[in-house]
């Protein structure tokens, strides 16, 4: 069974600084996708960034980038120049490419931005 | 607003009552997912539809739970004889299946409290 583990229940960072959220996963599949989702308080979950497992190049979306280490099954999210609006729960998620393509989520990391 | 909508946003019920939630997906999306999120945890997959067909159900979905998606449009999730353990956020997501690209867009969720 696929599992996703986020070992940091809470993280905090000073505004404008950089923070890295960790995620590891377990799978026997070779083709899959990894995601980071953001869930602000009382608001809906939105996709932050996506990584396709067959691509060696790490994905980047503006201030958000990932460090994808396929052999280590590690997928961390780096947020640069942190902003107050980045405060949220962040979930790492995995899915295979076929079938239901259901998402398997980690437990989440609560990110606090200190002004 | 053309995003995923869910109704109601909050539901408080007494143990043993039946409840029904509704999800309206993005109009052209052919896949619809239900997830359950308990406090402090990541969402867990419950079931999914491709058009009107329910193609997979999680073992979390006991026989007290039933989901429908008539005509492949909106979906309902009914819980019969609610239990306190059913208290959670119920999230709906929709996507348009195109090759392996299947970004799921989430609704705001229905928060269920069973007293």
Are the C-beta atoms of B102 and B1 separated by less than 8 Å? Answer: no
**Residue of B45, B100, B105, B109 best to disrupt the A interface, most CBs of A under 10 A:** B100
Helix, strand or coil, per DSSP, at residue A67: strand
Quick check: B82 pLDDT over 60?
Answer: yes
A72 Cβ contact partners less than 8 Å away, ≥ 6 residues apart: A24
List the structure tokens of B102.
């299947």
Quick check: B1 pLDDT over 70?
Answer: no
**CB contacts, 8 Å: B94 with chain A:** none
Within 29-88 of B, beta carbons closer than 8 Å to A belong to 31, 33, 35, 40-45, 48, 55-56
**CB contacts, 8 Å: B48 with chain A:** 100, 102
Instruction: Tell me what pLDDT residue A96 has.
Output: 86
Q: Which of B31, B41, B91 sits opposite A107 (nearest CB)?
A: B41
User: Which DSSP state fits B101?
Assistant: B
Are the C-beta atoms of B69 and B75 separated by less than 8 Å? Answer: yes
For B2-29, write each residue's pLDDT tens digit.
799 999 999 999 999 999 999 999 998 9
List the structure tokens of B74.
């909106």
CA of B101 vs chain A CAs: smallest distance (Å): 9
Quick check: B100 pLDDT over 70?
Answer: no
CA of B115 vs chain A CAs: smallest distance (Å): 21
Instruction: Tell me what pLDDT residue A42 has.
Output: 80
More confident residue, A20 or B72: A20
User: Which DSSP state fits B98?
Assistant: B
Q: Which residues of A touch B (CB under 8 A)?
A: 4, 6, 33, 37, 43-47, 50, 91, 93, 95, 97, 99-108
For A8-36, write each residue's pLDDT tens digit.
999 999 999 999 999 999 998 888 999 99
List the structure tokens of A78.
């780096």
Model confidence band, residue B95 (pLDDT cutoffs 50, 70, 90): very high
For A89-108, write each residue's pLDDT tens digit.
999 999 988 888 899 999 99
């Amino acid at each position: 069974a696929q599992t996703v583990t986020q070992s940091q229940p809470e993280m905090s960072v000073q505004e404008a600084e950089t923070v890295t959220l960790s995620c590891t996963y377990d799978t026997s599949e070779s083709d899959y996708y990894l995601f980071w989702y953001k869930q602000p308080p009382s608001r809906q979950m939105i996709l932050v960034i996506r990584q396709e497992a067959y691509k060696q190049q790490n994905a980047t979306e503006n201030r958000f980038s990932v460090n994808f280490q396929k052999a280590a099954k590690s997928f961390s999210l780096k947020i640069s120049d942190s902003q107050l609006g980045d405060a949220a729960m962040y979930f790492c998620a995995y899915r295979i490419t076929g079938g239901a393509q259901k998402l398997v989520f980690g437990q989440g990391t609560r990110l606090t931005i200190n002004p | 607003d053309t995003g995923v909508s869910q109704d109601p946003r909050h539901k408080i019920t007494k143990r043993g009552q039946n409840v029904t939630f509704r999800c309206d997906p993005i109009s052209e999306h052919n896949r619809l997912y239900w997830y359950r999120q308990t406090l402090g945890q990541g969402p867990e997959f419950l079931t999914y539809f491709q058009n009107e067909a329910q193609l997979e159900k999680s073992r979390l979905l006991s026989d007290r739970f039933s989901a429908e998606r008539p005509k492949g449009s909106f979906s309902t999730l009914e819980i019969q004889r609610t239990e306190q353990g059913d208290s959670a956020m119920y999230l709906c997501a929709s996507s348009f299946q195109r090759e392996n690209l299947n970004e799921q867009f989430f609704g705001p969720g229905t928060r269920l409290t069973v007293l």
